[in-house]
Amino acid sequence: MVYKKRYDGRKFDEMRKMKMEVGVIDNADGSAVFQIGNTKVIAGVYGPKILHPQRLRQEGKGVLRVHYRMMPFSVSERKNPRPGRRDIELSKVIKESLESAIFLENFGGSVIDIHVYVVQGDAGTRCACVCAASLALADAGIPMNDLVAGVASGSVGEQVLLDLTYDEEHVENEDVTDMAIAYNENLDKVTLLQMDGNISEKNMVKALELGIKGCNIIKKEMQKVLKKRYE
């Protein structure tokens, strides 16, 4: 079987439709909703605030904490509401994706908490979380060197794709590769790169380039939403 046409009719290098909004949680310092296709994430930022207990404080540098959760109703098979290994792993992955963009040296002894919740999942959730968290940080007025955007790319057989859906991640009788990418354009730095599956070196490079291109498109849309918020 050769994957010649995407299930949803998109071009191979085309992303799903996006929706974004900031300032959605009144009691948060910054917040955002990010949706790409059927994947929907909400993020809230709290801080910077004094970090307790005192022994956890870092002199001359703030601490970033990320709390990732996938809601039990977010996928077709109900997820266990208790945090698991995947929640811990993705909290760390999202944190590392964002850290280099934030001027943490401005917040010695303080902490910035980001809570990200997957409300609805259809692949690309960790990338959507990076986008929602980045928007929420900007909404909170946290100094950053750039917005960080994320998107998944990969391949079905020998066909390289941008922004895979759950159905595309589970195409039968084909080797499927999923690559999660986050990118800081100002630093020209890939801050997240995780891959599941087998792919040729040629297609891996192509998928990475396609993913970076997608991240830059998402970043432009994020900038539009933020400008509209503060016009």
Structure-token match 């994430």, residue found: 41
Measured CA to CA, the distance from residue 219 to residue 192 in angstroms comes to: 15
Minimal CA–CA distance to 182: which of 70, 89, 93?
A: 93
Measured CA to CA, the distance from residue 101 to residue 66 in angstroms comes to: 14
Q: Domain for residue 2, yes or no?
A: no
Q: Domain for residue 10, yes or no?
A: no
Q: Domain for residue 142, yes or no?
A: yes
Q: Domain for residue 63, yes or no?
A: yes
Residue 120 clears pLDDT 90, i.e. is over it: yes
Give the total number of structural domains in the chain. 1
Measured CA to CA, the distance from residue 28 to residue 75 in angstroms comes to: 26
Please write the tens of the pLDDT for every residue from 189-207.
Answer: 999 999 999 899 999 999 9
How much of the chain, in percent, has pLDDT values that exceed 90?
78
What CATH number is associated with residue 216? 3.30.230.70
Query: pTM of this prediction?
Result: 0.93
Measured CA to CA, the distance from residue 72 to residue 80 in angstroms comes to: 6
Measured CA to CA, the distance from residue 58 to residue 7 in angstroms comes to: 49
Q: Domain for residue 12, yes or no?
A: no
Q: Domain for residue 127, yes or no?
A: yes
**Structural domain of 46:** 18-229
According to the model, what pLDDT value does residue 171 have? 86
